[in-house]
Amino acid sequence: MQLIRIRTDDELMWYKDIWDGILEAEGNDNPFIEFAWFYNWWQIVGRRERVELYAVEENGAIIAFFPFTIRLRWGVRIYAFAGENIANYSGVIAEKEWLFPATTFVFDQLIEKYKHLLFSFHGLLESKDSTKVIEQYFVERQLRPSIFRVVTPYLAFRDIDFHSYFNQRRKMHGVDRRERKLRKLGSLTRKIPSQDELWQMFKLFNRRWAKKIDTSDFTKGKKKDFFEQLTLLQGEALQAKVDALVFEDQWIAFTYGICCRGRYVTYALAHEPTFNIFGPGRLVNQETIKRIYSEDYRLFDMSIGYESYKFDWRSNIDFTRRMLVSSETKRAKLLAGHFTLKERLKELLKGNHRIVEWKRNTLGQLRYLVKYGKVKDWLEYGQLFVEKFIRYKQVDLYELSPSDSVTPNRPVGDLFEELSIQEAMQLDDEEIISLFYKGYTIYKDSFAATNKPAFALHAVNWRVDELQIVEALPKQTCFLTYDVYKNIDIITAFFQKMKPAQTLWVTASFWHWRKRKRLLQLGYKRISRMKHFKCARYERNHVEKYTESGGDVHSVH
C-alpha cells in the first residue's frame, strides 16, 4: 500500500469520481463524508484549517480516503476528522473489504512517523462499520480509547405502519389541536422555498436564537455561505432540503435537512418566537416527516441530542461516539487526560436537562439583556427572578350586570373594531398572538395610528394566567382582559352598546388600585378575591367569595 497526500482542493477534484464510486458501491447514507460535503467545506469553511487528506493506493488503484484536520497543542499533533465543528457524523471513505486494512495502514504510518499523537474523532455512529473498525484497531494495538456517547434518535419508516404511527404521534402535546387552531385563524401551508427566499430562513433562525445560546453557528460567516451553497448542489448523492411552514405569507418555522441515499438528517430547525404557543417547530417537523416518507426515504434521522421532540417521533435510537486515543508518550497521555476530563464534564452537563436549559435559556437571556436590554427589560427580569423565591399575588374578580351599569359621560360611537391576526403579526408581540390561541376576540382603536390592541373579550372562559385559573363562564357573560385601566369606562360603554343584554367580568390585581376604584365607580361589583403566596417551597392559595355566582364558578389550581 502507498499513502498519497492530497494538498489542495483543486488536486482533490481529480479524485472525485473515485471517491463517489466508493461510497456509491457501499450504499453510503452518511452525507457528511460525501465528496460534495468535504469539497465545499474545504473551499468555504476549511480554508484556515490545517487539512491532511490522505488517499490509500493499492496496486495502482485508490481504495480509501482519510480526511483529517491537524492542530498542535503542547507539542502534540491532534488528528480529527475534517469538519469537527460542523459535521454531525464522520468516518472513513473505503469499501468494506478494504476498510480495516486501509485503516491499519494509515494509522500505523502516522504512529510511526510522529512520536506525540492524539486522535480525537467525533461523530462516529455506532451502527457504521468505520466506528467498529477504528475501535478494533486501537484495541489490537493496546491503545486504550476513551469513548463518549450521545443518543441519536431516528425514525425507520420500514419498521412501522406509518399512517397509524403518524396519526398517533401528531396528537402528542396537542399538536393536532394547535394546528387546527392555527388553520382557523388563517392560511397555513408548507412550502419548499426558492433560492432567493433563503434569507428568510437565516433571519428566522437568528430571531429564534436571539435570546438563547446557539452553538451551531448556522448563520455565522462562512458557515452560512456553506449551508447556502449546499442547497445549490445538483446531481449529487448529497442534497440539502429546506421545508418552510408559512402562515399568512409569513415564515413561522423551517427545517434544514441533509439527505443522502435514503437517509434524511435534520440539521437545523427554528420557529418564529411570537408563535411559541402554537408549537410551530413541532408542526414543521411533522410536515417534514410526512414529506420525507412520501418521497420513499428509509430513515428520518433526528441527529444527536436529547431534545424531547426527537423522542416523540423516534422508532429507535443509535449512538454517536467521540473517541480519544493517544500515543504512549507522557506528553500525549497528559493531553489525552485533559481532553478526557473535559469530555466527561461536558457529557455530564449535557446529560442533565435542567443544566442544558439553564445554559441555553437563562444565560442566553442574560447575554441578550447585556447587549440590548433597556431599564424596563432589566426590571421585568429582576421581578421574575425574585418571584422564583418569594411571590404574592392578589387578583379581584368584578362583575357588571346590565342593570348595574353607570352610563359614561361621553359617547363611544364606533370607537373600536376587531383586530385581525394578520395585523397582530406586525406588532411582533408573543402575548397578543397567544390571545388568539386562547380564543379571545381582540379589539383595537378604530382611529389610532397603530394597530395596538385596546382590549380582548372571551365568550366561553375566564382566566387568570398568573394564578393558572381557567374556568367556564356563566351564560350570557363575557370576560374582559388586556384592557387599559384609563379607558375602562369607554371599553365598558362600548361593550354595553355591542352586547347590552350580557354581563361583563373583569379582573384587577393588587397593584391596580386605580382600576379597582374606577370599576366600583362604574357599577362593577367584586364577586371574588384570589390570593396566592409563595416563599421558597411553601405555597398557599386562598379564595374569598363575595357572591353566590362568583363563588361557584371557579377554583384555584
Residue 172 is predicted with a pLDDT of 87
| CA angle (507, 511, 515) in 5-degree steps | 50
- Nearest Cα to 94, choosing from 45, 30, 147, 148? 30
Reported as a single tens digit per residue, the pLDDT across 265-301 is 999 999 999 999 999 999 999 999 999 999 999 999 9
Average pLDDT value for residue range 110-135:
94
Residue 371 is predicted with a pLDDT of 87
Whole-angstrom Cα distance, residue 300 to residue 267? 11
Dihedral (C-alpha) 23, 27, 33, 37: value to the nearest 10 degrees?
90
Average pLDDT value for residue range 172-195:
93
Residue 410 is predicted with a pLDDT of 55
pLDDT grade, residue 93 (50/70/90)? very high
Reported as a single tens digit per residue, the pLDDT across 189-228 is 999 999 999 999 999 999 999 988 888 889 998 999 999 9
Average pLDDT value for residue range 387-393:
88
Task: Report pTM.
Answer: 0.89
> Over 90: is that where the pLDDT of 479 sits?
yes
DSSP state of 359: I
Beta strand 76-81 with 117-125 is parallel
Residues 6+ apart with CB under 8 A from 143: 325, 326, 327, 328
Burial environment of residue 289 by CB neighbours within 10 A (0 to 12, 13 to 18, 19 or more): buried
> Over 60: is that where the pLDDT of 553 sits?
no
